[in-house]
C-alpha cells in the first residue's frame, strides 16, 4: 500500500500513484484544482479556510484539530498514514519560507518508510547495510541523521571509503552519479536535489 501525504506549500507535481491520499490544510484546495482524489484531510486550519475546504469536499473525512497542540499538521498526517501500515509514504511539499517546518518534516523521515518529495528534491533515510542508489536528480548528498560508522560510497563521482560521520559533518554534500552506499551503524539522511 502506498500513501501520499500532500502538504502546503504548493504547487508540485504528484509523481507517485497512491492507494490513499491525505491532504493537509490548503493542499486540499490545490488537489481539488488538479482533480486529484483525496481520501482524508487533516489540519488545524490556522492558515486556510475550513469552510471553503468543507464545501469542496462534502463527502470526505476532515479532521479539524485545535491549533493549540504539540504536533505539527504534517506529523498528524504522518501518524494517520503509519496506522495503515503502508509499504511506503510519500510526503509532498515545496520548501517555502518556513525553514522550521522544513527541518521538522525532514526529522519525520526517521519515523517509517517515508520519502519527502517535490519537483526538485527527494529525501529519505537509510539504515545500516548496503543500498544501491540511482538518484532522480543531479545531486545526491549524505548526512548523518545520527552518528554513522564506516560509510562507503562506491560508483559515485566522489567515492568515500569507511568514513565516520557525525551530525555536524557536511563533507558528503553535492555528490553526483549512481552507486552503492554501505555503512555499519547509524541512520543516514539522503537528499537528492536539482538546481
Model confidence over 66-111: pLDDT tens digits?
A: 989 999 999 999 999 999 999 999 999 987 778 999 999 999 999 9
130 and 114 share a domain?
no
Using the 3D structure, point to which of 119, 147, 166 is the last residue of a domain.
Answer: 119
User: Which H helix or E strand runs over 77?
Assistant: helix 73-82
156 and 75 share a domain?
no
Domain count, the chain: 2
135-141 average pLDDT score: 97
pLDDT the model gives residue 96: 73
pLDDT the model gives residue 186: 97
148 and 112 share a domain?
no
130 and 115 share a domain?
no
Query: What is the residue range of 57's domain?
Result: 2-119
pLDDT band at 22 (very low <50, low <70, confident <90, very high): very high
pLDDT band at 141 (very low <50, low <70, confident <90, very high): very high
pLDDT the model gives residue 191: 98
Distance CA 101, CA 58 (A): 29
101 and 129 share a domain?
no
> Which residues fall within 8 angstroms of residue 140, CB to CB, at 6 or more apart?
133, 156, 175, 176, 177, 190, 191, 192, 193
pTM of the prediction?
Answer: 0.94
106 and 156 share a domain?
no
Using the 3D structure, point to which of 119, 139, 169 is the last residue of a domain.
Answer: 119
113 and 144 share a domain?
no
Residues 55/42, Cβ–Cβ less than 8 Å: no
72 and 50 share a domain?
yes
Amino acid at each position: 500500500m502506498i500513501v501520499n501525504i500532500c502538504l502546503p506549500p504548493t504547487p508540485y507535481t504528484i509523481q507517485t500513484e497512491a492507494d490513499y491520499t491525505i491532504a493537509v490544510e490548503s493542499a486540499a484546495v490545490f488537489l481539488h484544482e488538479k482533480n486529484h482524489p483525496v481520501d482524508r484531510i487533516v489540519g488545524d486550519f490556522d492558515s486556510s479556510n475550513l469552510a471553503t475546504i468543507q464545501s469542496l469536499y462534502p463527502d470526505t473525512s476532515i479532521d479539524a484539530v485545535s491549533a493549540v497542540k504539540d504536533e505539527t499538521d504534517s506529523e498528524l498526517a504522518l501518524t494517520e498514514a503509519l496506522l495503515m501500515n503502508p509499504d511506503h509514504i510519500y510526503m509532498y511539499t515545496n520548501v517555502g519560507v518556513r525553514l522550521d517546518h522544513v527541518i521538522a518534516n525532514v526529522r519525520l523521515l526517521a519515523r517509517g518508510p517515508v520519502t519527502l518529495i517535490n519537483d526538485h528534491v527527494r529525501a529519505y533515510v537509510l539504515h545500516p547495510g548496503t543500498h544501491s542508489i540511482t538518484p532522480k536528480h543531479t545531486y545526491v548528498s549524505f548526512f548523518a541523521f545520527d552518528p554513522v560508522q564506516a560509510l562507503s560510497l562506491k560508483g559515485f563521482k566522489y567515492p568515500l571509503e569507511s568514513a565516520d560521520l557525525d551530525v555536524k559533518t557536511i563533507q558528503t554534500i553535492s555528490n553526483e552519479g549512481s552507486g552503492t552506499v554501505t555503512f555499519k551503524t547509524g541512520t543516514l539522511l539522503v537528499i537528492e536535489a536539482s538546481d
